[in-house]
Amino acid sequence: MSLKEPKSMSECIYFTNRFLDNDGYIRAWVSKEMCEKCGKGLMGKPKDKKTGKVKIRAKKYHCPECNNIEEQKEYEEKLTVSIKYKCPHCGFESETQVPFKRKRIQILNEETQKKKAAESIRFQCEKCKENIDITKKMK
């Protein structure tokens, strides 16, 4: 399987490029989908009329061609994450696609040695079947 990488960030809803332990890495992105109503425009978050900038915290996605509006939760449930990775456990390099659904998992904070809940996209290495997490960056 050969995944098509985005040419620019304007094609993506989500993108991350991370380096892991033992020379592992993850490059993951979620491409915008075409509008189901008109089939012409890419669904995206609305832009501010005054500044022309995208409203980052908007709870709806809209089509710039036909102004079709979808709720954030409904739209994001349909999306898939494309992932290119090198497993930090076994060194296997591959590509995969998983649903764009973040799950709450318990992670160990290395500084304080306490567990805390974090939102993560979890997938398994195709070779060693170890879990690999793409954790949402936290403040």
Joined together, the tokens standing for residue 105 give: 């998992």
- The residues with which 94 forms a beta bridge, in sequence order, are 85
pLDDT by residue (tens digit) across 40-50? Answer: 888 988 888 88
pLDDT by residue (tens digit) across 12-68? Answer: 999 999 998 888 999 999 999 998 888 888 898 888 888 888 888 889 999 888 888
Q: Which residue has tokens 């995206």?
A: 44
Domain ranges of the chain: 9-100
Burial (0-12, 13-18, 19+ Cβ within 10 Å), 92: middle
The secondary structure element, H or E, covering residue 72 is: helix 72-77
